[in-house]
Amino acid sequence: MDSHEQRLVHRFREGDAAAFRELVERCQEPVFQLAIELTGDWDDADDLSQQVFIKAYRALPNFRGETKIMSWLYRIMVNTHIDNARKNRALGWRINPSSPDEDQSQAEPYITHTADDNPETRTASHYMQDHINRALETLAPRQRSVFVLRHYHDLSLKEIARILGLSVGTVKSQLFRAIQRMQKELAFYKAELGLEESS
């Protein structure tokens, strides 16, 4: 945890509510980005982000500062996402109720476009994105979390293990299974997406 984060946590513990608002402003963009990547749905991501900050507000007085604030928030988010997925399964709901007719702008965090993209390229990107979203939906919540943190946030296996409270070996196993599944679902995009095994 850097010195600025330490000061914010200290101010919050001293009763300064503005410190938490500043922390939210500092972290809300990457938190929402990860929420979108985990849920694949704009509204679900918004709900998940709010749950994360509510839990963070309650838990911050006991935060020991052994990791960066973002790593701590990521851990809260992944655990909340997994809990929500379990509850949804128990109720017979799909984790990601998306359809081909949904606004593909919700998928923008996965694929970025260059300024000189022509309409054909943009259409192809959206078509590919729809396949990526559907492939991600086939992953178990923990596998999806590991895959997203590794391939979209470029975190090391040790960092992911710390965030998720898992052993590095378990993270490797979850990532291997996730990659296998993604390779199967996206076999015709394999070379383009670079879905090679990671170590």
Q: What does pTM read for this prediction?
A: 0.71
| Cβ-contact 161, 171 below 8 angstroms | yes
| Cβ-contact 126, 133 below 8 angstroms | no
> What digits encode the pLDDT tens for the residues 31-87?
999 999 999 889 999 999 999 999 999 999 988 888 889 999 999 999 999 998 888
CA distances from 41 to 50, 96, 128 (A): 14, 7, 17
**What is the residue type of 180?**
Q
Domains and CATH numbers, the chain: 1-97 (1.10.1740.10)
pLDDT given for residue 91 in this prediction: 53
Query: What tokens appear for 147 in the block?
Result: 């895959």
23 has a pLDDT exceeding 60: yes
38-45: long-range contacts, CB 8 A cutoff, minimum separation 24 = 38/77, 38/78, 38/81, 38/141, 38/144, 38/145, 38/148, 39/81, 39/95, 39/96, 40/96, 40/98, 40/106, 40/107, 40/133, 40/136, 40/137, 41/96, 41/97, 41/98, 41/106, 42/106, 44/96
End-to-end CA distance of the chain, in Å?
26
pLDDT, mean over the chain: 79
132 has a pLDDT exceeding 50: yes
pLDDT given for residue 93 in this prediction: 43
> What digits encode the pLDDT tens for the residues 151-185?
888 899 999 999 998 999 999 999 999 999 988 88
| Cβ-contact 152, 110 below 8 angstroms | yes
| Cβ-contact 137, 96 below 8 angstroms | yes
Q: How far apart are CA 116 and CA 151, in angstroms?
A: 25
